[in-house]
Structure 1
Amino acid sequence: MGAGQRRRTLLLALVSVLLLAGVPAFFGVQAMNRDPVFVSLDELEVPEWAAAQPEDFTSGSRWCLLDCRLRERTVTSERSPDETAQVYEAALSRDGWQPWRPAYCPEQEEKGSYTCWRRDELTLDLWVREPTCVPPPVDGEPAVVPSLDPSTAAEECSGSLVSVKVRNAIDDERTRPQPETDPSLTGEDPYPTLTEDPLGELTPSPPS
């Protein structure tokens, strides 16, 4: 074997070693950087028809520097909100999440199914509702919705929209004791009702 062939063989061996070591290391770093909450949501046992087109959003710090991390995921479902909510609630229960009924769940009245959950140091809001069937804008202008046959409209607006919001429990205000409401701010009389005559019995004036 000539010197040139030996160099090529050594080079190929070196490239193979780098590939074998580098590829797993690359995916290992990627896995470490992957938020474990989203990994947990990926592993929820929901059917494919209930988890299409996932979009993930994050804000804040994973280590709660200044603000704790907020994780949000939206997906579309091919079936009705009722059926979709049932499969998600069952999947969350299997995954160890417990139903949670704090005040402000939701913070304001929402259409559809809105439920709250807790597991370990996390809280989760699940909101399942009908999709918003608005056509995309055309040339920057709102699209004109033509008159549609009811069956066509129902077909185009079928399915549901799912939103999942996960927060650290220590950063969720609903886990803290809620302050008592000041009676003066609720329309009630802030002054106590007097049950006795505050002047007591009047002493008669002496005769002149």
Structure 2
Amino acid sequence: MRGARSELRRQIRERRRLRMAVLALVSVVLLGAIPLFFGIRTLSRDPVFDTLDELDVPGWAAVSAVDDVSGSRWCLLDCRLRERTLESERAPEETAQVYERALSQDGWQPWKVTRCPEQEEKGRYTCWRRDELTLDLWVRERTCVPPPVDGEPAVVPSPDPSTAAKTCAGSLVSVKVRNAIDDERTRPQPSTDPSLTGEDPYPTLSEDPLGEATPSPS
């Protein structure tokens, strides 16, 4: 009986040690997995997009957001470029106002700089700066393009203006965010003062070099 009791106590102690070891292993896995999960999530999710998500814009102005990222976060070869395209259910003027107001409330400052935009664009195009980032905001009318038919572009008939206005209502919003050090507009631009450039290396010819041929001597 004594031997049986001793064996029973030994088995109970072993089971208790095994249970404690399993609990300790589970605790270590959970404590390590949670930081790892959030670490991977942080690396995969650009915080700039989180900032854009927090902009105080109404739901009708931020429909069907599509994000695109290129370049390196650590500016290896190319710095990171973040682009977001959204749809708005209202006109470009009203949409631009709510976005500009939200950017100002979030600490962005209007940036009056040349090449904003790089080339003439339809709609309203504004530039902004905050800390080490620059932001381009472009709001314009939607382009109504019907879906292709059997892989071929659809033929667009002459629509009734009232129907087209209903179909193409709303606007498109593009947001482009770059690192300021990678934005060429933050760098001093070379002067185009003629006194600094000297003589024009390609002067304008006053006479047509391909004019009448010189007559040969008779």
TM-score when normalising by structure 2: 0.74
Three-state SS of the structure 2 residue aligned to 1:165 is strand
**Corresponding position of 1:206:** none
Q: How many residues align?
A: 185
| 1:174 positional shift | 0.4
Three-state SS of the structure 2 residue aligned to 1:136 is coil
Structure 2 Cα separation of the partners of residues 52 and 10 of structure 1: 52
Unmatched 5+ stretches in structure 2 = 1-11, 201-218
Q: 2:61 aligns with which of 50, 57, 60?
A: 50
Structure 2 Cα separation of the partners of residues 157 and 48 of structure 1: 19
**Corresponding position of 1:117:** 128
| 1:97 positional shift | 0.3
Within 5 Å, give how 1:166-205 maps onto structure 2.
Answer: 166-181=177-192, 183=194
Aligned sequence identity (%): 73
Three-state SS of the structure 1 residue aligned to 2:174 is strand
Q: Which structure has more helix as a fraction of its residues?
A: 2
Within 5 Å, give how 1:33-48 maps onto structure 2.
Answer: 33-48=44-59
Structure 2 Cα separation of the partners of residues 28 and 107 of structure 1: 37
Whichever residue aligns with residue 138 of structure 1, its letter is V
> Is 1:77 aligned with 2:88?
yes
| 1:15 positional shift | 9.9
| Range 106-115 or range 17-26, more displaced | 17-26
Q: Measured at CA, do residues 135 and 13 of structure 1 come closer, stay the same or move farther in structure 2, by a change above 3 Å?
A: farther
Structure 1 Cα separation of the partners of residues 171 and 47 of structure 2: 26
Whichever residue aligns with residue 85 of structure 1, its letter is A
| 1:20 positional shift | 8.2
**Corresponding position of 1:203:** none
Cα deviation 1:89-119 (Å, max 9, x = unaligned): 0000000000001110001110000000000
Cα deviation 1:63-91 (Å, max 9, x = unaligned): 11111101000000000000000000000
RMSD: 2.8
**Corresponding position of 1:102:** 113
Q: Measured at CA, do residues 100 and 20 of structure 1 come closer, stay the same or move farther in structure 2, by a change above 3 Å?
A: same
| 1:10 positional shift | 8.3
| Range 9-18 or range 109-118, more displaced | 9-18
Whichever residue aligns with residue 135 of structure 1, its letter is P
Unmatched 5+ stretches in structure 1 = 191-208
Three-state SS of the structure 1 residue aligned to 2:190 is coil
Structure 1 Cα separation of the partners of residues 21 and 46 of structure 2: 38
Structure 2 Cα separation of the partners of residues 24 and 171 of structure 1: 32
Whichever residue aligns with residue 43 of structure 1, its letter is E
Whichever residue aligns with residue 74 of structure 2, its letter is W
Structure 2 Cα separation of the partners of residues 28 and 53 of structure 1: 27
Whichever residue aligns with residue 151 of structure 1, its letter is S
Whichever residue aligns with residue 172 of structure 2, its letter is L
